[in-house]
Chains A and B, each alone.
Chain A
């Protein structure tokens, strides 16, 4: 047992014990964490920056009349600059939030309410995160008209379709910067040029992109953008909404009523330690982005090339327009959750398959690319980080290859494929 679970009645949570594991004389730390699109570990330098703001500098940034409040406000201002600098924004354009789900809600609902007199039409696409899709669905009940664009099999938006979807009532285009499941980066500058041409605002959920690739709100022409700390080695529970102040000046209607913090757009006492950590994470990302991207893309490519040597393995999403640290691969004729079970004590990964009685639906993102349900059920998502090591990637390649081969020996679909039977000709007993 490499993952030791300490009896639960003694400890409130399961403790993960990291162990050193000797494989072929390599020094390998287990378990391997390759689910960095879900969340990243906090960089220790981020934690160090945060700690004083829990116990010593614990003031409320809105307390104007004593040194505790001043220190907190100063720390928040500094963090606001660190965050703004990463995306080439003005610090006044940064609204701190609890994370990107809040940012998506505030950005989209806030525009819908603020610009109601101009129109009610929103254009988005069907591989957006649920925080965007469900916000749009909510607004449909409030009278919004929403167009959900399909994407091409590559995962990229069709720019001609986007432009054709714009009408006189269109007030907002909501297109993510990069996708969380397949890592595909959308042509954001072309999208913003179309938006500008038609006088429509552009919102972007940039959770997966900010801190990983250069994001420049001025050059990219984004009007409103949501992102978060915990996908870029910062803490959970803190994020930001960028809201443009010039050309054009954008406003969003607040979604929470209260003390009027964040220039009236987001009330609520600021999460000072979280904001300090988020600021530090942004600074580190800006300074180390090139190094991080080179490191993760080299290991990602190694992993991908090795796994694609397995028969009937396919990459999902356009490899030429992809985040450096992401890969999504389908291993045909093997079910994703069953595959994960072969190594998930030692390797943390996500699958596009959800095999529960509540949801037999595989990933809607993969289905939107036109993948059959069988391939969508057979996918694994890899998200590397600045902390991923070569030894961990070598171990992952070995474990996944062995498990795929073992499960295929057990798979009736693999047997049929090998016998040359076309699975589409079989009448399946749906249950």
Chain B
């Protein structure tokens, strides 16, 4: 299976690889996937408390090229959005942008789950309730 050019570009030049300081109250961390499934994604957001805007996003991913590209794209997508805007995340947007084939759709689902997990981590750290999300459909 050949990868799309966009996947290859994100794989070769991933955006926002790195680690934010978990100890900071305005940093939310989402860790999704499992080593035995062949992909683990850690996505972090840094939020401006005053405006609710995501000022920075970083990721580290263990997985295939599509998983790496999905997380790289997700961090790009997050920056500058408010938390509320970020909650509207739809994995199909990543699928379309990266031209992922059906067998790789789960990589985009993982990125969506990572975003939601990072937002919930931020909410809990800041005294808010964790939001309940419907289970992702694609596995």
* A413 in contact with B104 given A341-B64, A429-B113 (CB within 8 Å): no
- From residue B119, how far is it (CB to closest CB) to chain A in Å? 15
Write out the residue numbers on chain B whose beta carbons fall within 8 Å of the beta carbon of A358. 103
Write out the residue numbers on chain A whose beta carbons fall within 8 Å of the beta carbon of B35. 372-374, 377, 413, 423, 428
Q: Which of A325-368 contact B (CB under 8 A)?
A: 333-335, 337-338, 341-342, 353-358, 360, 362
* A412 in contact with B60 given A372-B36, A428-B33 (CB within 8 Å): yes
Q: Does A415 touch B at the CB level, under 8 Å?
A: yes
Chain A residue with the shortest CB-CB distance to B138: A357
Which of B37-45, B46-54, B74-82, B91-99 lies at the interface with chain A? Answer: B37-45
Contacting B68 at CB < 8 Å: which of A410, A415, A429? Answer: A410
- From residue A73, how far is it (CB to closest CB) to chain B in Å? 44
- From residue A32, how far is it (CB to closest CB) to chain B in Å? 18
Contact A338 B65, beta carbon cutoff 8 Å: yes
* A335 in contact with B64 given A423-B35, A428-B34 (CB within 8 Å): yes
Interface residues on A, range: 20 to 34
Q: Does A305 touch B at the CB level, under 8 Å?
A: no
Q: Does B102 touch A at the CB level, under 8 Å?
A: yes
Write out the residue numbers on chain A whose beta carbons fall within 8 Å of the beta carbon of B31. 412, 426, 429
Cα of A331 to Cα of B41 in the assembled complex, Å: 18
Cα of A423 to Cα of B139 in the assembled complex, Å: 23
Cα of A431 to Cα of B136 in the assembled complex, Å: 9
Q: Does B27 touch A at the CB level, under 8 Å?
A: no
Write out the residue numbers on chain B whose beta carbons fall within 8 Å of the beta carbon of A342. 11
* A353 in contact with B103 given A341-B64, A415-B19 (CB within 8 Å): no
Q: Does A411 touch B at the CB level, under 8 Å?
A: yes
Main secondary structure of the interface of B (DSSP, over half): mixed
Contact A338 B63, beta carbon cutoff 8 Å: yes
Contact B65 A357, beta carbon cutoff 8 Å: no
Contact A410 B14, beta carbon cutoff 8 Å: yes
Write out the residue numbers on chain B whose beta carbons fall within 8 Å of the beta carbon of A426. 31
Write out the residue numbers on chain B whose beta carbons fall within 8 Å of the beta carbon of A377. 35-36, 38
Cα of A335 to Cα of B103 in the assembled complex, Å: 17
Contact A430 B61, beta carbon cutoff 8 Å: no
Contacting B67 at CB < 8 Å: which of A334, A338, A372, A423? Answer: A338
Q: Does A409 touch B at the CB level, under 8 Å?
A: yes
Contacting A341 at CB < 8 Å: which of B3, B17, B105, B110? Answer: B3
Q: Does B109 touch A at the CB level, under 8 Å?
A: yes
Write out the residue numbers on chain B whose beta carbons fall within 8 Å of the beta carbon of A428. 33-36, 40
Contact A360 B102, beta carbon cutoff 8 Å: no
Contact B109 A431, beta carbon cutoff 8 Å: yes
Contact A410 B61, beta carbon cutoff 8 Å: yes
Contact B60 A411, beta carbon cutoff 8 Å: yes
Write out the residue numbers on chain A whose beta carbons fall within 8 Å of the beta carbon of B42. 412
Write out the residue numbers on chain B whose beta carbons fall within 8 Å of the beta carbon of A360. 37-38
Render A89-132 as a binary contact track against B, CB cut-off 8 A, 1 for contact.
00000000000000000000000000000000000000000000
Write out the residue numbers on chain A whose beta carbons fall within 8 Å of the beta carbon of B34. 428-431
- From residue B73, how far is it (CB to closest CB) to chain A in Å? 14
Chain A interface residues (CB < 8 Å from chain B)? 333-335, 337-338, 341-342, 353-358, 360, 362, 372-374, 377, 409-415, 423, 426, 428-431
> Nearest 5 pairs between A and B by C-beta?
A373-B36, A428-B34, A356-B103, A374-B35, A341-B65
* Given A357-B138, A374-B35; 7 other pairs, CB 8 A cutoff: A338-B63, A356-B104, A377-B36, A377-B38, A410-B68, A426-B31, A429-B117
